[in-house]
């Protein structure tokens, strides 16, 4: 018979992790989500299908919200804030999550995230929720349960996207599968994500087959649409009217779907300044990118509801390309420039749509206006912060805006007579199709 204890002891699993053990795990999850979303952001311009660009922007925002909640929770647990800025013993793992940014191709990128990184996070969140104490750690349970369900959805989407990307590029199947295996092997070599103590694994080095990421000069475009640089005649011909009535309804939807450039600019700038600006930058830029993807989708959905054929819808590249080859501060500057330039027209247009009885255009424009008001604030704030971090004058943010205006003007100046004629023809065709 065992000796009776002098203390009250009970076999309850609640105390498996103490406060600081919990904070260590949540910190690991934070860095994984952060690295993953930065890689995803960087890839938005390289991926052609519009539904993937839009869907990925939403997942980036979900990851940023989860990471934000994780980070706040780690602070609540009184984890030394100095240590929260450091990856610590999880360094090799976090590096691997960042290494998919150097994927060799679009399908390789999609497949390695969908088959390896996201399932690893999903399994770890599930284990965490099963093994942690829902009393002491109740606040984590709420947001991590949501994150777990979002991971399930993300895995399904990435698997579908990878498969469609592979079926249009069958020659990349072998290399994509090999890349995905290399990511999986390295993940197990560094100890996986999991809920165990940090293995303090040494950095595994570059993945075989990796290709250093570069920001694409030209954005990939969905081949279902009519490809062009300048997506409506008024961009290249100031005499061409913005229009009223049906032409305004159409023009506004064309603007919205062409905000695809803003999703891309959001992704590029998020990743370019992820290690330069504080966490709040990533959190704001992820929301910004997601908002632009919603504006793009608003336009797409309206055009589809009017029965128009994507092959007749111009999808342009000029705003993205105006900032190519420049300091990435001009990606941020472009968003700020276009938002502050257009915001004043939005309430009046929403009212016109109301007068036409076009409730959906009115609704979209009004929600868009609220988002853009928030974005104008983001733009000014982060341009100033970025200039300050670079040791430059914070007040020069307006010069960045002016330079963006010039970059766009110069780029528009490269439009050829043929391009001007072509977009006029395309616009006329679309207007005719809309009248039917």
d(CA 173, CA 167): 8
CB 193 within 8 A of CB 124: yes
Nearest distance, CB of residue 296 and Fe ion, angstroms: 8
Q: Long-range CB contacts (< 8 A, 24+ apart) of 85-92?
A: 87/31, 88/27, 88/198, 89/198, 89/199, 89/200, 90/27, 90/28, 90/31, 90/198, 91/203, 92/190, 92/191, 92/201, 92/202, 92/203, 92/204
Which of 136, 141, 177 is CA-nearest to residue 14?
Answer: 136
Contact flag: residue 256 with Fe ion (CB under 5 A): no
Q: Which is nearer to Fe ion, 28 or 375 (CB)?
A: 375
CB 383 within 8 A of CB 329: yes
Q: What is the largest CA-CA distance in the chain?
A: 98
Q: Out of 53, 287, 294, 295, which residue is the one contacting Fe ion (CB under 5 A)?
A: 295
CB atoms within 10 A of CB 100: 27
Q: Out of 375, 382, 383, 387, which residue is the one contacting Fe ion (CB under 5 A)?
A: 375
Nearest distance, CB of residue 386 and Fe ion, angstroms: 18
* CA atoms within 13 Å, Cβ hemisphere of 45: 26
380-409 binders of Fe ion (CB under 5 A): none
H runs (alpha helix) in 44-172: 50-76, 81-84, 91-99, 106-112, 118-131, 138-168
Q: Which is nearer to Fe ion, 200 or 373 (CB)?
A: 373
Q: Which is nearer to Fe ion, 177 or 374 (CB)?
A: 374
Give the contacts of 399 (CB within 8 A, at least 6 positions apart): none
- Which range in 126-134, 150-158, 193-201, 365-373 contacts Fe ion by CB under 5 A? 365-373
Nearest distance, CB of residue 113 and Fe ion, angstroms: 26
Q: Which is nearer to Fe ion, 181 or 381 (CB)?
A: 381
Q: Which is nearer to Fe ion, 122 or 375 (CB)?
A: 375
β-strand partners of 314? 226
- Strand ranges in 123-265 using DSSP code E only, listed in sequence order: 226-227
Nearest distance, CB of residue 291 and Fe ion, angstroms: 6
Nearest distance, CB of residue 337 and Fe ion, angstroms: 11
CB 289 within 8 A of CB 339: no
- Which range in 38-46, 258-266, 409-417, 422-430 contacts Fe ion by CB under 5 A? 258-266
Nearest distance, CB of residue 295 and Fe ion, angstroms: 4
Nearest distance, CB of residue 98 and Fe ion, angstroms: 27
| Pattern 310-349, Fe ion, x by CB under 5 A | -----------------------------x----------
CB 270 within 8 A of CB 41: yes
Q: Which is nearer to Fe ion, 259 or 362 (CB)?
A: 259
Q: Which is nearer to Fe ion, 178 or 374 (CB)?
A: 374
Nearest distance, CB of residue 378 and Fe ion, angstroms: 8
Q: Which is nearer to Fe ion, 158 or 338 (CB)?
A: 338
Q: Which residues bind Fe ion (CB under 5 A)?
A: 259, 292, 295, 339, 372, 375
């Amino acid at each position: 018979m065992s000796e009776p204890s002098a203390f009250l002891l009970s076999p309850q699993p609640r105390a498996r992790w103490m406060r600081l053990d919990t904070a260590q795990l949540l910190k690991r999850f934070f860095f994984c989500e952060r690295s993953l979303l930065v890689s995803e952001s960087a890839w938005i311009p390289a991926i052609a299908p519009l539904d993937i660009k839009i869907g990925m922007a939403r997942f980036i925002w979900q990851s940023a919200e989860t990471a934000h909640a994780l980070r706040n929770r780690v602070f609540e647990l009184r984890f030394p804030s100095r240590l929260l800025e450091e990856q610590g013993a999880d360094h090799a793992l976090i590096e691997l999550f960042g290494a998919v940014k150097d994927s060799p191709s679009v399908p390789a990128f999609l497949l390695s995230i969908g088959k390896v990184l996201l399932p690893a996070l999903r399994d770890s969140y599930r284990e965490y929720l099963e093994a942690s104490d829902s009393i002491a750690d109740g606040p984590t349970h709420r947001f991590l349960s949501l994150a777990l369900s979002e991971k399930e959805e993300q895995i399904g989407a990435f698997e579908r996207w990878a498969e469609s990307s592979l079926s249009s590029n069958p020659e990349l199947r072998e290399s994509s599968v090999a890349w995905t295996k290399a990511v999986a092997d390295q993940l197990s070599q560094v100890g996986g994500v999991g809920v165990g103590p940090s293995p303090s694994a040494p950095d595994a080095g570059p993945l075989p087959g990796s290709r250093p990421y570069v920001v694409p000069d030209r954005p990939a475009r969905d081949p279902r649409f009519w490809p062009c640089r300048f997506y409506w005649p008024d961009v290249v011909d100031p005499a061409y009217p913005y229009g009223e009535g049906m032409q305004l309804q159409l023009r506004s939807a064309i603007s919205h779907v062409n905000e695809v450039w803003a999703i891309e600019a959001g992704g590029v700038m998020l990743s370019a300044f992820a290690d330069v600006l504080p966490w709040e930058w990533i959190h704001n830029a992820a929301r910004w990118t997601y908002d632009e993807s919603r504006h793009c989708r608003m336009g797409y959905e309206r055009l589809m509801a009017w029965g128009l054929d994507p092959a007749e819808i111009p999808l342009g590249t000029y705003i993205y390309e105006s900032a190519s080859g420049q300091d990435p501060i001009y990606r941020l500057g472009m968003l700020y420039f276009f938002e502050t330039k257009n915001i004043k027209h939005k309430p009046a247009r929403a009212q016109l749509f109301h007068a036409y009885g076009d409730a959906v255009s009115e609704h979209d424009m009004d929600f868009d206006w609220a988002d853009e008001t928030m974005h104008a604030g983001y733009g000014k704030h982060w341009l100033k912060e970025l200039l300050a971090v670079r040791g430059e004058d914070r007040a020069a943010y307006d010069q960045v805006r002016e330079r963006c205006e010039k970059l766009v003007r110069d780029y528009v100046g490269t439009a050829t007579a043929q391009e001007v004629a072509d977009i006029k023809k395309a616009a006329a065709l679309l207007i005719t199709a809309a009248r039917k």
